[in-house]
Amino acid sequence: LTSVSSAVAGFWRGERFTELRLNNGDNYQAWIEFNGSAINVTMARAGSKKPVRPLINIPLNLSGVLVDDMFVGFTAATGQLVQSHRILSWSFSNSNFSIGDALITENLPSFELQDDSVFKSKGFIVGVSVGALVLTVSVFGLLFYVISRRRRRADDDVEDCETKYWLHSFWRRRRRVEEDVEDWETEYWPHRVKYRNVLEAT
């Protein structure tokens, strides 16, 4: 879909342009006028008089598509936003261009956004605070568990190393005691025989 013309939503008061926000819930009135060769689009806040200067004024020849009997419809687009468009009141005439001024715009439903956003509510703030606290405690608990486990594993490794070193030293001392022959044993015949000698003899 390619637009023939587009403009920022708003209205002219003399040389001063006032921009309008279409997603704030306010009610607006639009005038769409076609005289056979040009189309004028004007808008303002609901209940205001029609501005003299139109928002869009472009030459447009619709003689090839207009017939005596036709349907009138509306369409809208929101782009990347998720919004709702509501037509609260409308009028149509192919001869009376002032019919829009007689449109009743009082006591129409209001869809203005509430000032109190859900992000500012006490429930939302309390929920976010509690969630952040639980998340923080969980993270610190996990870190404490991981660090404690690593320290315990390191202590176990040190204990294993000390035990292995003690056993190795004890075994070396025992072999040295078993294999060393005292002087008095040489004089009176050795009471001990080295394992190496027994192994070689057998």
Alpha carbons 121 and 36: distance in angstroms, whole number:
54
Alpha carbons 45 and 28: distance in angstroms, whole number:
4
End position of a domain, from candidates 58, 78, 113: 113
Whether residue 31 is found in the same domain as residue 78: yes
Q: DSSP string of 60-126?
A: ---TTT--SS---------TTS------------SS-TTGGGG---TT----PPPSS-GGGSHHHHH
Report pLDDT for 100.
Answer: 77
Domain encompassing residue 152: 120-187
The structure's pTM equals 0.52
Residue range 64-98, pLDDT digits in tens: 888 888 887 877 776 676 777 788 888 888 778 77
Alpha carbons 82 and 100: distance in angstroms, whole number:
29
Residue range 12-52, pLDDT digits in tens: 998 999 999 887 888 899 988 888 788 899 999 988 888 99
Whether residue 132 is found in the same domain as residue 155: yes
Q: What is the mean pLDDT of residues 156-184?
A: 58
Alpha carbons 151 and 41: distance in angstroms, whole number:
76
Q: Chain-wide mean pLDDT for the chain?
A: 77
How many other CB atoms are found less than 10 A from the CB of residue 43? 22
Report pLDDT for 5.
Answer: 87
When divided into structural domains, the chain yields a total of: 2
SS3 142: helix
Alpha carbons 182 and 184: distance in angstroms, whole number:
6
End position of a domain, from candidates 91, 113, 135: 113
Whether residue 142 is found in the same domain as residue 100: no
How many other CB atoms are found less than 10 A from the CB of residue 156? 10
